Amino acid sequence: MAQGGGAEALQGLGVGELLARLQGLYREAEAAAEGYKATEEALKAGQEEEGRLSAELAKARTALGAEKAAAGRVARAQYQGVGGFSPYARMLLTGDPRGAQDQRRLAAREGARRAGVLARLTRTERRADLLATAARKSLDARQTLTAQRMRNKQQVDLKLKQVERVLASLTPDQLTRLGTREAANTAAAQRELLESGRLAATPRTPTAAGGAALTYATEQIGKPYVWGAEGPGAFDCSGLTSQAWAHAGRSIPRTSQEQWAQLPKVPLDELRPGDLVVYFPTATHVALYVGDGKVIQAPRPGAKVKVSPIAANPLLGAVRPDPGAAPLAEFTAPSLPDGEAGDDTGYSATEAPATSAR
């Protein structure tokens, strides 16, 4: 299936194995998309750094030109002297002791000024050289990232085409049986989680920002999953969570892996609405916690933003974008749509993605 995914490759597979194969392709597609977005973010940061270095280098070169001009003037004055004599010659030829002392002070001051000019010139030359080296390295890194981004995009396109071929090869009966099996697996995982006591039984209220993020995410329900999308018409998983919190006034990392790595962890039994729930060992999927054991997520290619059981995917943990904020005393949760707001197909725990994703 990984090579072609044609109908011949699916013959004789049971519904369980077929589901695992299809879910594996979904995960690979999302992992590739997340990898592309991570590279895109790194490239954007690199371009900003390159611009900053170029601006600093231009300033350093301007300053270097000014320092060279000043050093040239000092050298000419030292060679020519003033009135044909150097300060030291004038000091020796004067017949006035007090005048000689004044000349000595002037000579010392002139020497210090010349030394200062030369020291500034040396420092400016060194800084310009360092900035030029850094700018060259930044350019090399940008070119490398650009090539990597192209390879990641090609990988995403390949995985999505594989998914499309597999789905096109399935009969209506196979699709029905797959949906039934997947819903049963999700329900069993949700039951096991709730019975384990890992989630708090007492409802919690969100912070003001968490409530705003939840409201925004709720308004996106029904919009399609599109890899790399950050709204307003479509989203991928981390595009939804990052935009939800952006609309709540807090900037968080763009990719699911960076959200997991950079935001403070929170135990599942302390989850409050607005927290982010992260999935798979490599943090390749993320959703926003609603409360009552449910999340809002942009599930996968071909699906829509919806409310799902928190155990629709294998849990890694949870993070909180605003750990220092106090929860609201009261909160009226936004109303959720019926029907598709409940059970949702997810990914199985087998063959979890091994690559980073966004």
Are the C-beta atoms of residues 124 and 65 closer than 8 Å to each other?
no
Q: Regarding predicted confidence, which is higher, 259 or 73?
A: 259
CA dihedral in degrees (232, 236, 239, 245; nearest 10)?
A: 90
242: Cβ contacts below 8 Å, ≥ 6 apart: 230, 252, 253, 254, 259
Are the C-beta atoms of residues 20 and 350 closer than 8 Å to each other?
yes
Look at the chain and count its residues: 358
Q: 47-85 pLDDT, tens per residue?
A: 666 667 667 767 766 766 665 666 566 666 655 554 445
pLDDT at 99 exceeding the cut of 60 = no
Tokens of 15: 């519904």
Are the C-beta atoms of residues 319 and 278 closer than 8 Å to each other?
yes
Are the C-beta atoms of residues 133 and 13 closer than 8 Å to each other?
no
Are the C-beta atoms of residues 102 and 155 closer than 8 Å to each other?
no
Query: Distance (Å, rounded) from C-alpha 114 to C-alpha 107?
Result: 11
Q: 222-232 pLDDT, tens per residue?
A: 999 988 889 99
Return the DSSP state at 356: -
Q: Can you say how many angstroms the Cα of residue 167 is from the centroid of all Cα atoms in its chain?
A: 31
Query: Distance (Å, rounded) from C-alpha 173 to C-alpha 345?
Result: 17
Q: 281-336 pLDDT, tens per residue?
A: 889 899 999 999 999 999 987 789 999 999 999 999 999 999 999 999 999 989 88
Identity of residue 206: P
What's the whole-number mean pLDDT along residues 198-219? 93
Closest C-alpha to 167, from 2, 5, 344: 5
Looking at the chain, the number of H-run helices and the number of E-run strands are 8, 5
Query: Distance (Å, rounded) from C-alpha 245 to C-alpha 322?
Result: 10
What's the confidence (pLDDT) of residue 5?
A: 43
Neighbours of 313 (CB within 10 A): 32
pLDDT at 95 exceeding the cut of 60 = no
**Tokens 């069993």 sit on residue:** 188
What's the confidence (pLDDT) of residue 26?
A: 72
Tokens of 95: 């017949």
Neighbours of 229 (CB within 10 A): 19
CA dihedral in degrees (239, 240, 241, 242; nearest 10)?
A: 40
